[in-house]
A and B are shown apart, each in its own frame.
Chain A
Amino acid sequence: MKKVKIAVIDCGGNTGSIVNALEFIGADASLILPTDRKALKWCDKIILPGQGRFGEVMRKLEPIRSTLLEEVRCGKPFLGICVGYQILFDKSEESPGIKGLGLIKGSVVRFRKPAKLPHIGWNLLRSKRGMSDTKSHDVNKVCIKGTKYNESGKDTSSKDTNIKEIDNCELRIFQRAYVYFVHSYYPVIQDEPNLKEQTNVQITWTTYGDEFASAIKIGNICGTQFHPEKSGEIGLSIIKNWIRCRK
């Protein structure tokens, strides 16, 4: 299989983490500046890692905004992480008056219920709304497709660069996995029941006071509120899975 070229848009912050993770799993990734339209066109897949405020990231993306939208609308796989996920929506309470990319209808809001913010730490992904968080132990290992674990629980297929291409990566197989979050805002999907009807839509849910969509995949557009690059072996599997899927 030809190695997919991944462009990681550098909007400041710790882009090192995602690059380290991509290098570790043997992906061909390069950091690009948010002015580099050529690189966006050239690459096979785009990652926008997140750190910083909604408005700040949108301001930095301004020079490539139209190119980015064009590429993603034409079907190029896009993965947005944390604030990179939030900017897929229309707007955010964090930066009133600033427009997001508007690729997914909805708006980003601040947590209402929890006393402690930001939401920092490991929390659970679920495939359905309103499901209980209990009986969660012992499940994350068995629900990961395509990864082999040795006795220590370590993913032994990490360096496998010969990964087979698959048609559509499934977020759902990571249900009931613990992943790492750091955020005070989360997106609310507009017209969610309608969206869920579509066949190419996958959503995972997480509860921290409020229940929110912790990851979404709509066709070639993928976003995670959590940090897969900081979620241990499960996170690496999610990234690997995203890399090898065609869309």
Chain B
Amino acid sequence: MLTKRIIPCLDVRWGGADGKTSMVVKGINFRSIHEVGNPVKMARQYYEQGADELVFLDIDATNDRRRAMIKVISEVAKQIFIPFTVGGGIRTLDDIDAFLRAGADKISINSAAVNNPSLIKIAAERYGSQCIVIAIDAKRKIHLSKNAPTSCTDSSRTYASKLGAKLTLDSSISWTVSINGGNKDTGIDVLGWARKAQRLGAGELLVTSMDKDGTSTGYDLELLKLLTKEVSVPVIASGGAGSVDDIAQAFITGNADAALAASIFHLENMTVWDVKNELIRKRICINQ
């Protein structure tokens, strides 16, 4: 039986005291970012703890218009022998080629795929769909009923996510695609974009809830539930994992194929083993 996958995620950018050291960072709702450690060390550590895959995202790359850290990536690739996905700032086939040569197995594409969907098709044709992960940053749009306080519509994301948990599934919730590290809301419907990405050749979808990211309040289960019905490629849940129960819910309620998490491993002092053992106790099929 195919197991559910646990995927630690390293968001990496240049930082440290000199500003020239690659650092794993963690933010909340794509903002208020702080540094948590060395990417190569952390990658090896998660590998030894039994991670099923690893994702490495250069979170500065898109905005700064520079390629992610090829050298750091190849150092990581020499240390871990599990599938390794790299993303951040990918625009062209040359970028993809460079990352694959550095030792990445899969390439995560976000903004460039939205700006130029044919890139998905060309890349999938050249490298195979298994290599192309389309990352989608999803932002909840809540069309509040007349009873809700209007002042809370957009200004407070936490309010929205709290409220979202109580909302039932109806046409009043939708999600739109954000790009450029969450800076630009394209207004494109997430479910429609997911279908299109699959049709063009995406092998997997990595879906991050911007509202939940870094809040440790659980994944956006409604989004996952709808999305996994909408597409037939594997869906990786991302954004919001704060406990093992959150991960279990992403599998059970959200029907996700894999769960990406950062805070739970970076900050909560839990090892991948701990998380997996608890999930096995919850009778979820996991590669121990």
Give the interface of A toward B (CB within 8 A): 13-14, 16-17, 20-21, 23-24, 51-53, 115-124, 133, 136-138, 140, 152-154, 178, 180, 182-183, 207-208, 227, 229-233, 235-236
Residues from chain A with a CB closer than 8 A to the CB of B48 are 152-154
- Check B81 for interface membership: any CB of A closer than 8 A: yes
- Check B121 for interface membership: any CB of A closer than 8 A: no
Residues from chain B with a CB closer than 8 A to the CB of A120 are 130, 203-204, 234, 257
Contact at A121–B234, with CB atoms within 8 Å?
A: yes
Q: Decide yes or no: A232 and B81 within 8 Å by CB, A16-B103, A123-B3, A137-B280 being known contacts.
A: yes
4 smallest CB-CB distances across A and B, nearest first, come from: A16-B103, A122-B287, A178-B287, A182-B130
* Count of A-B contacts judged by CB separation below 8 Å: 108
Residues from chain A with a CB closer than 8 A to the CB of B49 are 152
Residues from chain B with a CB closer than 8 A to the CB of A231 are 81-82
Residues from chain B with a CB closer than 8 A to the CB of A122 are 2-3, 5, 52, 287
- Overall SS of chain B's interface: loop
Contact at A121–B280, with CB atoms within 8 Å?
A: no
11 A-B contact pairs sorted by A residue (CB < 8 Å): A13-B127, A14-B103, A14-B105, A16-B101, A17-B84, A17-B103, A119-B2, A120-B204, A122-B5, A178-B288, A232-B50
Residues from chain A with a CB closer than 8 A to the CB of B4 are 121
Give the interface of B toward A (CB within 8 A): 1-5, 47-50, 52, 74, 77-78, 81-84, 100-105, 127-131, 203-204, 232-234, 257-258, 273, 280, 287-288
Q: Which of A136, A153, A182, A231 has the most CB of B within 10 A?
A: A182
Compute how far the CA of A162 lies from the CA of B58 in the bound complex, rounded to whole angstroms.
Answer: 39
Give the residue name and chain of the B residue nearest to A120 (CB): B234
Contact at A115–B232, with CB atoms within 8 Å?
A: yes
For A178, give its contact among B3, B81, B257 (CB under 8 Å): B3
Contact at B82–A180, with CB atoms within 8 Å?
A: yes
Give the residue name and chain of the A residue nearest to B104 (CB): A14
Contact at B288–A137, with CB atoms within 8 Å?
A: yes
Contact at A233–B2, with CB atoms within 8 Å?
A: no
Contact at A52–B127, with CB atoms within 8 Å?
A: yes
For A235, give its contact among B81, B104, B203 (CB under 8 Å): B81
